[in-house]
Amino acid sequence: MANANLAREETTSNMDTSVDIQRLVTCMREKVDNLSPLSPKCCIFRVPKRLRQVNERAYTPFLVSIGPLHHGRDDLKPLEEHKWRYLKDFLQHSQKPLEYLVAFIKEREESIRECYAETIIFDSDKFVEIILVDAAFIIEVLLKNMYSNLITSGDRIFEKPMVILDIFQDFLLLENQLPFFVLDELFEMAKAVVGSDENELTPTFIGFACKFLVGFDRLEDKIPEDIDSTRVKHFVDLFSNLLAPRERSHPHKWGKELVKTPTAKELHDAGIKFKASSSNIPFDIRFMSGVLEIPKLVISDKTESQVRNIVAFERCLYNECYMTQYVWFLNNLINSSKDVEYLVESGIIEQWIELSEELNDYCKKPWHKWEATLRRDYFKTPWRVISIFAAVILLSLTFIQTMYSIVSVNLFEMAKVVFGSQENESTPTIIDFVYDFLVPFNEINDKIPEDIDSTEVKHFVDLMSNFLTPREHSQPHKWRKGPVKIPPAKELHDAGIKFKANSSKNLFDIRFTNGVLEIPQLFISDRTEGWLQNLVAFEQCLYNECYMTRYVRFLDNLVDSAKDVEYLVESGVITNWLADNHDVSYPPVEGQLET
């Protein structure tokens, strides 16, 4: 009897085990059967972890998400509504009903999904919505960039000078892409809005895209004719094509193993000269007769991100790793500040425009350096010892605002009868009272600008901006273009340039004549950071004329070390009202100020 019971228990146990195995097999088979096939169309990837962890920000959208990989992030939601406004514009320009466009994307949904390296979790409806809205947004950005008459009043992108630069940068992130063929086909529906002249070619999306990229990155003015739009995968791929050498007769120069090269200093010590070539292709590097010719490299705060994303794309897809090899070459060539110095002197690392051109031209003249050395080392009386613990003056954007509105103006009009006015005095206005309040605290112009209209003033920050803004706009380009790169104060000093605090109350009245850089006094107090950062924040949110933003960028370039601050304090350009000079120091500006 006992044996029979034991046998039944074993049978039951075996049956249970068999059921468990079958359940597991069914579950595993379902997962295997549901695997998406690997597609040869795959071209949009997540950046490999080993690359991303070096600099996360270089691969992460700052302002706008494109495609599904970053869709829904809280920090990118502010621009979502504006993307829908651009979809509305696209509907008008394409003259296609929304039903038609949704069906258009639905038909191509599978092909679009195959372009992404990972399985997209959004259901069909949400996925189609994301693709259509983002594609319309990209096309409208390119159209409005080319034709300003398409920009509507109050546009949150093109009426803010810094926003379009951030969007341009976000368009070149590997994880922030749409398949090029979708954009190309949708553009065909909207291109009628721009028309074409008799002598002009029919507009194409790749033409618009190339002009958009060229315009912001100073690439070749002429769009390469051998770029086939049907082979372009997305914007990062297109940007890579614009940079890639047109002649690929010797692909081994860049496509094979990484080659170790000497540093610029080692090459210089060996008698090799450096020369900036006229080529706009970064990879067009030549060595002939003891001269190493390298195309100019323009360094900006966007350069690293652009290069990193192309490198990531090459690593994920291509055999021809041109950018990877180029970065490796530069990494070997530049290993110290001395290496950079040789490349800057030869014009390979390019300086920026306007005031920087004058300063850099002065620095290039050898007799200025020799004269400065003689004066500094042999004829100069010692400076008095000044204890300075300061680095870069900079900003972090926080927005705290005391409202100055129509309501406050009207309330003041009712209250001013309390103050009355003398017979020979003008009737007091709120501008007068606010000015009297602000001037003693911020050392701005003694005279109230007469052209400030109180009905146009939005609040106290706007009013403060009006007080500081130059009244003469005869040369607005000095502060509107950029970013403008200049050497730090120490380099200018070593080149023989002197600093002088001028008497102007206009912070932007910066002049360079006869080897003297004149800068209005900047008074540093515990309030300076606060009012500067709020002015910059307000400019970047609303105005085209970013005077304060340019001014801060100018200071950020000028002041790069404690020694730079020392020269400016000694010359009276910076006056410290803080209890301790150490308090002048703020956190680094890098990454916080967008220009």
Q: What percent of the chain has pLDDT over 90?
A: 24
* Higher pLDDT among residues 592 and 243, named by residue: 243
For the chain, the C-alpha Rg in angstroms (whole number) is 31
Residues 559-564 have a mean pLDDT of: 76
pLDDT tens digits for 251-281? 445 445 566 788 889 999 999 999 988 887 8
Residue 337 has what pLDDT? Answer: 75
Residue 430 has what pLDDT? Answer: 54
**Mean of the per-residue pLDDT values of the chain:** 74
* Range with the largest mean pLDDT of 6-10, 12-16, 22-26, 512-516: 22-26
Residue ranges per structural domain of the chain: 49-243, 252-350, 351-595
- The span from the CA of 123 to the CA of 514, in Å, is 67
* Higher pLDDT among residues 370 and 492, named by residue: 492
The lowest-confidence range among 76-90, 190-204, 220-234 is: 190-204
8 Å CB contact between 115 and 163: no
Q: How many CA atoms lie within 13 A of 352 on its CB side?
A: 17
Residue with tokens 């869709």: 71
Task: Show the tokens assigned to 417.
Answer: 């009868």
- The span from the CA of 461 to the CA of 274, in Å, is 49
What letter represents residue 570's amino acid? E
- The span from the CA of 30 to the CA of 22, in Å, is 12
Task: Show the tokens assigned to 37.
Answer: 């096939």
pLDDT tens digits for 55-77? 899 999 999 999 999 999 999 99
